[in-house]
């Protein structure tokens, strides 16, 4: 189970989840062997029964089964009943929620792909996601250390990899009693031709990058600095925005949304008198991003769980379209299924066939 978790946490690092969230391993033990994985949007008793029937002892869900604190576990509510059934049958439950919302190739990226958007980027980049590493390496080991940093994920900016800067200089130090210096002698100041390396990296990869640096560096005591940046990372944050290659009429735009998401109905604001080209997205409850979609120049903002009074703020400036919470995130299971099948092609990774949407429409 831990091996499956490692892959999922590489796709969407736990550090990217929001403070109110409860993603991760909610039921079970990472050290247990995994007999199969069942991917779903929500965890219900029916989904647990499906996992039992199909011989999968790990359920991977987008929505956490246990979201707020449980004071008692009772079969009198659906969460308690589902937790009891999972534990009794040895079913582990793992959630990958707002951390998957906050990566560009996660929930929102999948929505953008379904609609055929191009030039997609994060709508509201998350602050504090970029840092910079400074380190000093003897010329003889420059390539070795630089490659180790890159292999660990350093030097990645947007569509560019292995990005950095280096400059030659003169380092000096005096080794004290008990030291075993790679160069120089104890008690004597030593001067060494060194290269300073500067590399930007995603903050959530810091531990692995520092570990790789120390393993590849020849010095016993490695000199390095880790610096917080105010720069915003372009691939981590809330929502997404892209555009259609050819602008559409409002009717054409919503007809396409309806077709691609298999919708029976869309709640939306009145159509403004302009074409739709720039489209903002947020899977799930996304009304908190309406003002950001407006500032970004979106002609259409697709999300869910919009309250009555929240529709007024967008009227006349963009089309605000509420397509439903389940409907907006329904392809998340496809996303997780595909990623896990890539990593474990010979292992039982299954997609749930249970319809978990609790909302029906009487038409």
Per residue in 231-249, pLDDT (tens digit) is 877 789 999 999 999 999 9
Supply the pTM of this predicted model. Answer: 0.87
Q: Which residues contact 305 (CB under 8 A, 6 or more apart)?
A: 284, 285, 286, 287, 322, 325
CA distance 276 to 24: 38
pLDDT of 313: 80
Q: Contact at 8 Å (CB) between 43 and 15?
A: no
Would you call 120 exposed, middle or buried from its count of C-beta atoms within 10 A (0-12, 13-18, 19+)? buried
pLDDT of 180: 87
pLDDT of 316: 81
pLDDT band at 131 (very low <50, low <70, confident <90, very high): very high
pLDDT band at 363 (very low <50, low <70, confident <90, very high): confident
Q: Is the dihedral of CA 210, 212, 213, 214 positive or negative?
A: positive
pLDDT of 107: 97
Look up residue 51 and give its two tokens. Answer: 């996992």
pLDDT band at 147 (very low <50, low <70, confident <90, very high): very high
Q: Is the pLDDT of residue 315 over 80?
A: no
Angle between helices 78-88 and 45-54 (to 10 degrees): 20
pLDDT of 230: 84
pLDDT cut 90: percent of the chain above it:
86
Q: Tell me: the pLDDT tens digits for 155-212?
A: 988 778 999 999 999 999 898 998 888 888 999 999 999 999 999 998 889 999 999 9
pLDDT of 258: 97
Q: Is the pLDDT of residue 112 over 90?
A: yes
């Amino acid at each position: 189970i831990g091996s499956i978790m490692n892959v999922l946490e590489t796709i969407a690092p736990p550090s990217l989840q929001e403070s109110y969230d409860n993603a991760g391993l909610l039921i079970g033990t990472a050290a247990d062997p995994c007999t199969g994985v069942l991917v779903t949007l929500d965890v219900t008793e029916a989904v647990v029964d499906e996992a039992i029937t199909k011989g999968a002892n790990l359920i991977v869900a987008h929505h956490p089964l246990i979201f707020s604190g449980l004071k008692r576990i009772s079969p009198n509510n659906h969460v308690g009943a589902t937790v009891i059934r999972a534990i009794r049958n040895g079913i582990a439950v793992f959630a990958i929620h707002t951390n998957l919302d906050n990566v560009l190739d996660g929930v929102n990226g999948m929505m953008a792909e379904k609609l055929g958007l191009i030039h997609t980027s994060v709508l509201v980049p998350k602050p504090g996601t970029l840092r910079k590493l400074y380190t000093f390496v003897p010329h003889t080991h420059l390539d070795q250390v630089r490659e180790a940093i890159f292999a660990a994920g350093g030097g990645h900016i947007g569509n560019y990899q292995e990005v950095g800067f280096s400059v030659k200089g003169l380092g000096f130090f005096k080794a004290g009693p008990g030291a075993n210096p790679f160069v120089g002698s104890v008690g004597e100041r030593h001067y060494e031709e060194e290269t300073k390396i500067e590399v930007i990296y995603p903050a959530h990869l810091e531990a692995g990058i520092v570990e790789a640096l120390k393993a590849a560096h020849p010095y016993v005591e490695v000199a390095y600095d880790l610096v917080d940046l105010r720069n915003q990372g372009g691939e981590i944050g809330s929502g997404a925005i892209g555009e259609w290659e050819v602008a559409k009429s409002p009717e054409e735009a919503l007809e396409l949304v309806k077709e691609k998401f298999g919708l029976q109905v869309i709640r939306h604001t009145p159509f403004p008198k302009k074409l739709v080209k720039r489209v903002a997205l947020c899977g799930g409850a996304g009304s908190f991003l309406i003002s950001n979609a407006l500032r970004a120049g979106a002609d259409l903002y697709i999300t869910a769980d919009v309250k009555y009074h929240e529709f007024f703020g967008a009227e006349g400036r963009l089309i605000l379209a509420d397509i439903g919470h389940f409907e907006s995130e329904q392809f998340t299971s496809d996303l997780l299924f595909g990623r896990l099948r890539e990593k474990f092609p010979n292992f039982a990774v299954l997609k749930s066939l249970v319809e978990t949407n609790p909302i029906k429409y009487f038409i």
